[in-house]
Amino acid sequence: MKKLVVLSGAGMSQESGLKTFRDMGGLWEQYRVEDVASIEGWYRNPELVMNFYNERRKQLFETQPNAGHFAVAALEKDFDVQIITQNVDDLHERAGSTKVLHLHGELRKVRSTADPDLVYTLDHWELKFGDKCEKGSQLRPHIVWFGEAVPAFYDAIPMVEAADILLVVGTSMQVYPAAGLVNYVRPGVPVFVIDPVRPDFYMKNVTYIEEKASVGMNILKSKLEKLK
């Protein structure tokens, strides 16, 4: 069974109603990135940061996977699928995908401010001040903020290197280090890119499908038939 690696981004979940950060009317037009997505913002105004992620988490609990998520999950019938996502939602998992690596953390998880290895899954949307880890330290969102290391990136590299097929869906490929992952694909490996706006990167063996995720995944089906 061929290994198909999926790099997914915010456009994947946009059709489920989740706001993206960069689009017109997106979250970065409402909030300054340094206020809600940096360790400095957390130290400066933890209440703002806590409320921001509580609102995102509340929305996620009310959101369902879309046709694009289910189409990606269905690929597991014919391929060994590994998803590497920039998204912090759990919609891939809820759609049935079994191997998902989150580069930028997970919205439904929180972690200790004293020990980053102490990570907990929430069964509700609200994280409060006074919610502490087993060592007695305040819990924070389990999100990789700007300026913080992206440890999962080093897990993702060998996954991309092992890919027989690479699918890039719903991402502008402008956020590093995630965007750099495409450089690890082996020469000759077919690459498919699904996004309404063609990402600004150039590789050999690339097929562009300039559609939103749900439509693009349907078009992709016939192309993958030849590669099973």
Active site residues: 104
Strands (E), 63-210: 80-85, 100-102, 105-112, 119-121, 139-143, 165-169, 191-194, 206-209
Q: Which two tokens stand for residue 40?
A: 């400095």
Residue among 227, 199, 180, 201 at smallest CA distance from 209: 199
| Furthest-apart CA atoms within the chain: distance in Å | 55
Strands (E), 97-179: 100-102, 105-112, 119-121, 139-143, 165-169
> 3-state DSSP call for residue 66?
coil
Note if the bond before 199 is cis, omega within 30 degrees: no
Distances (CA, A) of 29 to 22, 33, 116, 203: 8, 9, 30, 32
